[in-house]
Structure 1
């Protein structure tokens, strides 16, 4: 097990020895994060405002909160209500440094895997860049009719002014009193930061967790829940072909590969659909993937995020597991009201 995995495991089940070693570093990180936020709030560091409303969807955790499917759901719901929505993102994992406005032939190397996936799922105009204000202006230059921009991540990107903040918080961490800053824990900012956001979406939630969350956050009017819906895998080079587990023959083998923050969720989803995965391959989050990485099996399952990185010339035995988020109650209606105001 590599160091990253050891630390991530420590975040979920704290190790007393690691806590002693990492706690001083977490205090330093906390001071830096809090001081930086205060400088933006006081005006000593510059904040830039785009000419249209900005909705930031982010988290105080490091990865794996289920944010990206929620962004896709919110964008789609706003589009269904007639709102012209654009997306901006930093574009983690991409190789280009310049701002890139996505086109139909954009690649993950140009745009990053998650922005490209969002673009393909929603068809919303999308731009990526380290400077999200500059990315937003570049997007508006090509799409001046946009009415609102959704920033995928960027809750801590304070140089971009925002009109609405939405924080995604994992259900597994609701009620925990041992959460800490990096590197002793997975937090970028304190839990108290959530007092100042407009809405909190508890991801992978249920009714029982919502009751706990109302007590934990003490701001029930802000709370929404999200769940993930899993659908039958589709063939990557023929998306209209879907696969059911009972159609497999006894001698046929299945393998799965994932380059995401929490790959165990992907593997468990396949298991719940009835697929017996004999080989599991885990890659670092946002890492590049090619045909040489694929395990040998009759059926190879990959995530939508990884599928974006593969070329069109993939073999017939590669299947993609589609997931979609639901949000309760309907947050899009509330957002439209705030945007119109």
Structure 2
């Protein structure tokens, strides 16, 4: 039997008339509370803090699954290519602790959270996590005083930290939907009109053909590009997919929308005997891996596996291709 959150999430994609009537008043309450909170921060009635370097927020108005992390990774790499030293701060969902933590070379997902650890490994950029983004930013600058710019991974609604630039990642599949509602009747944290107050909107999962001019004047298009599948802990050893025909192949994903990962694998011509979807940010252990000759996982999930010889575990890397140049836009707006 589906759980309540699964029923509601299905309603967001395929509205149920009965649920629409029941949930509509709660969405209006949520909308009012959200608007009042934002106005209180704007008016200075609620305290916010400014860091000594520019802060660019990369967030979303959806409740998860907007494709934000690959965009952050691509943006940081683009800034690095321009000679700009960027640091990353994040809430660090799924980690064991709650205090501020600056990532080290041997950091684990339990200490840092899966997405911050993945970003640290992909970009080599300094990363700090904490429930207070301002405290995380101060700790990061104390450890790395040469940082020129801080990128906030998520935190669009974390108004306690002042920002110099806002980038909203918005799923391309929703670009043409004008009837999106706020939680709990819909999957939005803030109304669609919030996009107009940001500096730019990145359409994730885009084909580049979406009608998006109504969303914002500064639109960027992001698509995921799959890399070569490599063996766990051996990034130089690649999987020969042509030899999988007579092997049992399974896939595991603990991400917001695991079907995207499974469909990507199928699109590469890989027949999956079993798929296993875990909750987003869920821990991953040997017990979660199916019995198979080859087990395919995401880069976000593989950072949760402890060091060891997982001979049958292989990783599919993906990167975001963003057009036009988002890093150039950010550097230009912030005059770095």
Answer whether TM exceeds 0.5 for this pair: yes
State how far apart, in whole Å, the 1-side matches of 2:29 and 2:290 are. Answer: 42
Q: How does 1:76-155 map to 2 (within 5 A)?
A: 76-155=77-156
Aligned to 2:61: 60
Aligned match of 2:278: 283
The aligned length equals 335
For residue 323 of structure 2, what is the aligned residue in structure 1? Answer: 328
Q: Which segments of 5 or more consecutive residues in structure 1 lack a partner in the other structure?
A: none
CA shift at 1:29, angstroms? Answer: 1.0
Aligned match of 1:193: 194
CA contact (8 A) 1:166 1:199 kept: yes
| Structure 2 CA distance for aligned equivalents of residues 21 and 258 of structure 1 | 33
Partner of residue 225, structure 1: 221
Please state how far the C-alpha of 1:129 moved relative to its aligned partner.
0.2
1:151 alignment partner, SS class: strand
| Structure 2 unaligned regions, length at least 5 | none
Query: Could you tell me which residue of structure 2 aligns to residue 23 of structure 1?
Result: 24
| Greater than 6 Å deviation, 4+ residue runs | none
Question: Is residue 232–residue 244 contact of structure 1 (8 Å, CA) maintained in 2?
Answer: no
Q: Is the 8 A contact 1:54 1:150 kept in 2?
A: yes
Q: State the shift of 1:249 in Å.
A: 4.0
The CA distance in 2 between the partners of 1:314 and 1:179, in whole Å, is 46
Give the match for residue 255 of structure 2.
Answer: 260
From 296, 314, 329, the counterpart of 1:301: 296
Deviation at 1:242, TM superposition (A): 1.1
Q: Does 1:236 align with 2:232?
A: yes
TM-score, length basis structure 2? 0.97
How many Å separate the matches in 1 of 2:259 and 2:57? 27
Quote the offset at 1:21 in angstroms. Answer: 1.9
The secondary structure found in structure 1 opposite 2:220 is: strand
